[in-house]
Structure 1
């Protein structure tokens, strides 16, 4: 399912955390654990889709905070600087790459979705992203079960064959 053209998915971190029940529940206990869980989920998504994921977290209300970027599980995680929202950061990046690259932005903020569309990106709501991730997980699970069944069938067949025949078949397969 690899994409030919480089594609980016910007995720408004706190918007998604507050929109997904699982993450919102975790955030009431620990915001850090909720952030880490979102990063893990998106790392799996990135590994499967080959879409470059950038998660942006607001730090605009943190006095003296400077923009911070780090790589976690191959995901770029950005904490905005003081007085800069995740929306503002995403809009700034969209201005520079939105018309040249395929860029999607995951947020349920309606106003932000309109800005994203106007700057050359496409939007995906938190709900749509959740469904997309669940569909990918279901597909992987089905594929895994099919592969396991195929292995079981192959093993049953191989156990019924004479060892000399198996050797001859292996020799044919290698040539």
Structure 2
């Protein structure tokens, strides 16, 4: 019987932000900007690799926080509910997938890595993810320059969730 294998990359958002110097520096002054930069990097990575990227940001210490899921171009961004860590969300999500799915989890958290491996996923360190991302960007640039194509525009509407787009459209129409 032929299996329909799905390919996932699950990213522990804050763990990666704190592991990548550039994002860590931005986060000191503007956490939202740092998150958006990571999201945009993962959109590019997902487009290149064909993996469904899921970035999980925990709201463990945020009072009255509800789980929020944003579908964006090639990725899903998850903000966990109050008292839920990214680790627990990731573990729960992995357990819902088929054992035939190819799942990589990007984190530097050693304890999380052990649990991930026990659930059949593979782990990728923050450093390995950065190297893969840089390689993907290099290949994209190479492909674009050799084909004579200009790099596609990066439209804001492709990066925003539907609710935000709807609100912006209402503002634009002065309703």
**What is the TM-score normalised by the length of structure 1?**
0.79
SS of alignment partner, residue 108 of structure 1: coil
Greater Cα offset, 94-103 or 52-61: 94-103
Bigger radius of gyration, 1 or 2? Answer: 1
Unpaired segments ≥5 residues, structure 1: 149-175
Who is 2:118 aligned against?
A: 118
Cα deviation, 1:129-164, whole Å, max 9, x if unaligned, reads 00001011112222233333xxxxxxxxxxxxxxxx
Distance 2:58 2:143 in 1: 37
The C-alpha deviation readout for 1:11-55, integer Å capped at 9, x for no partner, is 000000000111111101100000000000000111111100000
- For residues 145 and 102 of structure 1, the distance between their equivalents in structure 2, rounded to whole angstroms, comes to 31
**Post-superposition CA distance 1:67-110 (Å, at most 9, x none):** 11112334211011111100000001111216231111000111
Q: CA RMSD in A?
A: 1.6
> Which sections of structure 2, spanning at least 5 residues, go unmatched?
149-175
Is the 1:40–1:73 Cα contact (8 Å) retained in structure 2?
no
Change (3 A) 1:101 1:65: same
Normalized per residue, the structure richer in helix is 1
Kept in 2, the 8 Å contact 1:39–1:72? The answer is: no
For 1:96, the equivalent position in structure 2 comes to 96
How far apart in 1 are the matches of 2:73 and 2:47? 9
Aligned residue in 2 for 1:141:
141
Are the counterparts in 1 of residues 5 and 100 from structure 2 also a CA contact under 8 Å? Answer: no
